[in-house]
Structure 1
């Protein structure tokens, strides 16, 4: 039997509110609705956590569910004091926070490290022994979805709900697709989800604070280097399926631009900037 989270120990640094519920269709949808209905009840940063999510939402309307207490399913309300054009960095910053939180938790509990990496723009991957199409020698262990909350108050920082779903203890039979994995399958079956969530909230809060102090500049804050250091995408050959059926761009993933978009050099030597789309790793 999987252990429940211990809400009394979720003391994320700087968080005003961390609410744990037993079940939610989608923590992102519920938190967006709650913030629109009662914004003062959810000061930033706050978090909504579900032990069991039945209809989670990913990019492009994809849905997914997890077994009860097998994952971390958390949505964080932020109001990043950064220029709006820099918000594209948020999923990359969150992915890097996941990598750092797992490493920190394993280090504190004497566990061997696990090799995680971030796939542009919003997936966290774990090393695998056999390759799969689109991911190479990795499997997906976490997904991230950032949503701007529509609000009517002018002159305030945009509210963003940042959803993170991290597979912790799923067995192979409990995963929906062969391209997914869990931390347990990566060799860490006994991770304490409460400690892991506390570490994750701390890493998110720290990264966003540094980002804000640098006025959203990813280079000055050091976040650009941190994201690049854990990227599974940069330096590899990729094919980006552009949003809205606008075709594809294939070539080498060179760098991230000032907005967090991916710069790809095609075989013809041209640089193309991709701000949205699905990226497939070709080698």
Structure 2
């Protein structure tokens, strides 16, 4: 994996050649040397454009070679070493109802998993915002998995767009990871070709545009059949989600308590339905999901 000097910069011109219109779907793609958080920076850019009366054209993508204060769920922050991860945020304005927007981070996860599986990496999803890789042993909260990527969606203040950020660990060794439950593509033994951040960013932007474009074309209906009567986006998510069917403990947002049971299915707006041992069910719209160890 080597030192920082051996980690290649993202070739932004190569990404633009494939992603920008008319070759691709994107209005803009930018890469900065460093940012506290790509989500925060893109939100600031989009909000300023709204105030000036010239909304930022969407979809737009912003990546950083070095993120110093990435934002996760519940306000958690972390730093990624220079050129070791793919940290990218996108401004999206999908033609979908507000009730359907809960699916946006879930569908972003579908796009990430499509990219990783196409590269030979057996990735799966953890509701609502993590991407997982299989592990040889089990740990509390993740079971036989480790987190390789996180996703965070935030609305643009004063605007109608949504910024969705992805932080994907690529070449970090264990000592550079923020927590023991994390992993990176390199640490998990991914093929060398899967560690090219230029290729990863190019593929991710293509898949995200395809997923969100299909979703918007179906008026935000994730259950609409795919092309030729193929699986719906909801079916694709469920097929790739390690949480569904697992025994879980959910710490509800805002300290509202804990729910334990089996993760049964998702609602039409992307909430998780947990079936408890007493036969009751609980719908969870936000919270930290812990996969319980298997007996």
Q: Please tell me the TM-score bracket, short chain as reference.
A: over 0.9
Q: Indicate if the aligned counterparts of 2:116 and 2:122 stay in contact, CA closer than 8 A.
A: no
Q: Does 1:160 align with 2:162?
A: yes
In 2, distance between residues paired with 1:247 and 1:41? 40
Aligned to 2:3: none
Runs of 4 or more off by more than 6 Å in structure 1?
Answer: none
**Residue deviations 1:31-60 (CA, integer Å, cap 9, x gap):** 001001114463110001100000010011
Aligned to 1:233: 243
Q: Indicate if the aligned counterparts of 1:17 and 1:42 stay in contact, CA closer than 8 A.
A: no
Aligned to 1:208: 212
**Residue deviations 1:70-128 (CA, integer Å, cap 9, x gap):** 01000000001101011111111111111101122x2xxxxxx2221110000001011
Alignment of 1:12-51 (within 5 A): 12=19, 13-39=24-50, 40=54, 42-51=56-65
Range moving further from structure 2, 95-104 or 14-23: 95-104
In 2, distance between residues paired with 1:274 and 1:57? 22
Q: Does 1:53 align with 2:64?
A: no
* TM-score, with structure 1 as normaliser: 0.93
Q: Secondary structure at the match of 1:38?
A: helix
Q: State which of 84, 95, 114 in structure 2 corresponds to 1:81.
A: 95
**Residue deviations 1:133-181 (CA, integer Å, cap 9, x gap):** 01001000000000011216xxxxx200000000011111111111000
In 2, distance between residues paired with 1:20 and 1:42? 16
Q: Does 1:196 align with 2:203?
A: no
Aligned to 2:7: 2
Aligned to 1:130: 137
Q: Indicate if the aligned counterparts of 1:70 and 1:169 stay in contact, CA closer than 8 A.
A: yes
Give 1:129 deviation, angstroms: 0.9
Question: Which sections of structure 2, spanning at least 5 residues, go unmatched?
Answer: 1-5, 226-231
**Residue deviations 1:231-257 (CA, integer Å, cap 9, x gap):** 010001111111111111111111010
Q: For this pair of structures, how many residues does the alignment match?
A: 271
In 1, distance between residues paired with 2:65 and 2:126? 26
Give 1:188 deviation, angstroms: 2.1
In 2, distance between residues paired with 1:118 and 1:77? 22
* TM-score, with structure 2 as normaliser: 0.90
Q: Does 1:256 align with 2:266?
A: yes
Q: Does 1:149 align with 2:160?
A: no
Q: State which of 180, 183, 186 in structure 2 corresponds to 1:184.
A: 186
Aligned to 1:119: 126
